[in-house]
Structure formats: structure tokens, C-alpha cells
Amino acid sequence: MVARLALAPVNWNNDDVPEWGQTLPYAQMPRVAAGLGYAGLEEGTGAPAEPLRLRDLMASAGVRLCGSYRWVRLADADLGAAEVEAAVAHASRLAQAGADTLLVAEHWTDARRAVAGRAAQHPELALGPRALDHLARNLNRLGRAAADLGVQVVLHPHVGTPVETAAEMDAVLQATDPALVGLCLDTGHLVWAGADPLDVARRHGRRIRYVHAKDVDRLALSEAVRQKVGLLDGLRLGVFAPLYSTPEERSAVNMEAVAAVLVAAGFGGWVVMECDRNPRTGNPTREAEVARPRLERAFALPRAGER
């Protein structure tokens, strides 16, 4: 198995910070991705709700829908069952649209979002044993049902949520079935949370089935920590940065080292070039163009024109 490269709609359109606006209609993204040499595209705002229309939109450009992101509340004893049911319906729609991955993240809370990147200093906000048990059981249920549909479930640790730090991620992975729940390695979220993506790749390489490849601007992260800002203001400060388009002295992610570990572990999933920051401060299309050949080399892939 070999990795496949894809793009994320959030590169152009970020819903979390409304003032950034929308810079590229989703209907145009499949052809943009194909023209840049990428094989896939994630679902995003503006994608057709009807799965066959979504599949046809991808096919018309010669790319695949690689996956979709979903917020869940699986740690909630009262909401968990309904959340699993809704997520299974999402997985069914993805399968019909030709995708193979559902990324899930336990929904943020206002309290956790306010201490983004500083969660280790606030153990009182961590999931308790019962909530962790609910989360793990529901993830296993979701993973089993999605697998029956041909869709894999991957956990996405996310800054500002109850599964942010390396310790929180490890606890969920330990409590879930590796055959049912994989891991999305998001290099940017891990760095912001105080973790080392290379260490995570080494420890969980065979559990990693999907990658969000982004950078972190060291200066912006330092400023976010100094100001003790929350998640959204950290985004506004530019903590996340485009891979390979960030000055070397400010770059916090060594994607080549991470890729080497994943390739050695037999990684064959999607590598999604993603950067959720203000698209108007850079050039997302050009940044994706710059990143593709370097990701191809890092993951030992044939160049776009040779596939």
C-alpha cells in the first residue's frame, strides 16, 4: 500500500472564523485539486448533500472524496447513543459518495477551547473515567458499524477539546479496539497541544490511518501562549501555517521525519495537505502546489505526472 495525497477545503474556506469568509466555492475545488496533482479532496461546506451527486462531482474532475470530518459527543452518557446513530448515517452517506474515512473529534467545550494548548495545566477539565469509558465504547460501536459500510473511523485529537494532549489521545487509543478505531495524525494540532508528531508517529505508527499535514508558526504559537488566548484567537494569530511555505526558522513540523516513520510502518492512507488559517493572508492554491512534490518525495510516491 502507498499513501495518497489530498487537499482540505479549509485551506480556502474556514467556517470557524467567519470574518475570513469563503474564497473558493466547493464545486470548483475538485478540479483545482486535480489540476495541482492531488488525488483526493475532503468534504467541506458547500459540498452536495446528496451522496451520488457528490461522487459524480469528484469523478468529473478525476479525484476521490477522501473523507469527512465530524464533531461528536460520544463521551456524553445521555447523547452518546444518538450521536453514534447520526455518525453511522454520515458514514453511510460517505460510502455512497466513494469515501473511505470518517474523522471524528469529541466536541469542544467553551472551557477547553479557552485553554487551547494549555490543557495540561488544567487537569480539572479532563474527561473523568466514566466519560472516557462512554467515549471509548461509543467509538468502538461507531467503528464497527462504519466498517460494515466500508468506512474506517479515525480519531482526530483536536486543540480545545477533551481529547487534545498526547496523554488524552493515548488514553482513548488504549481503551478502544485498534481494528475499529484508527488515528488521524494532525501535525499542527499535536504541536499546539504540546506533543511531538514524530514521537506520536513512532509510538502509534500502525494505528495511524490518515494524516492532516500542516505546519505551526513558532512565533505565533509563542505569542498565543504568552497572551493565553483560546483556540479561535490562536487561529487569528496564525498558529497554524502552510506546510513548506513557512520560513524554516519559524517552522515547527519536520514532515520528512514523520513521513519516514509512517512509510516504514506501512502507512497507506490519505495524506491531506491542510491549513486552517486566514486564506487571505497567503495563497492556498500556490501553497498546495508547492507542497505536493515535497510530500511525494517524503512519502516515496511517484510524481503526479507519472501515476
* Cβ proximity of 235 and 17 under 8 Å: yes
Give the model's pLDDT for residue 307. 53
Alpha helices in 215-283 (DSSP H): 218-227, 231-237, 255-264
DSSP secondary structure code for residue 35 in this structure = H
What is the model's pLDDT at position 230? 96
How sure is the predictor about 16, in pLDDT bands with cuts at 50, 70 and 90? confident
5-19, 58-72, 81-95: lowest mean pLDDT where?
5-19
The distance in angstroms from the start CA to the end CA of the chain is: 14
- The number of beta carbons lying within 10 Å of the beta carbon of residue 222 is 13
Instruction: Please say whether the beta carbons of 3 and 299 come within 8 A.
Output: yes
Strand order in the sheet with 68-72: 64-65, 40-41, 4-7, 270-273, 208-213, 181-186, 152-155, 101-106, 68-72
pLDDT of residue 304: 66
- Domains of the chain, CATH where assigned: 4-302 (3.20.20.150)
Model confidence over 27-68: pLDDT tens digits?
Answer: 999 999 999 999 999 999 999 999 999 999 999 999 999 999
Instruction: Yes or no: say if 243 and 271 are a contact pair by the CB < 8 Å rule.
Output: no
Q: Is 62 left (phi over 0), alpha (psi -120 to 50) or beta?
A: left
Nine-digit cell at 289?
Answer: 502546489
**Average pLDDT over every residue of 5-23:** 92
267, containing H or E segment: none
pLDDT surpasses 60 at 305:
no
The alpha helices in 36-184, defined as continuous H runs, are: 51-61, 80-97, 110-114, 129-148, 166-175
The tens digit of pLDDT for each residue in 111-135 reads 999 999 999 999 999 999 999 999 9
Residue 15 pLDDT:
86
Total residue length of the chain: 307
CA distances in angstroms from 3 to 11, 134, 218, 235, 257, listed in the order given: 20, 33, 28, 28, 15
pLDDT on residue 36: 98
Among residues 252, 220, 225, which one has the least CA distance to residue 236? 220
More confident residue, 39 or 15: 39
Closest by Cα among 252, 159, 162, 179 to 213: 252
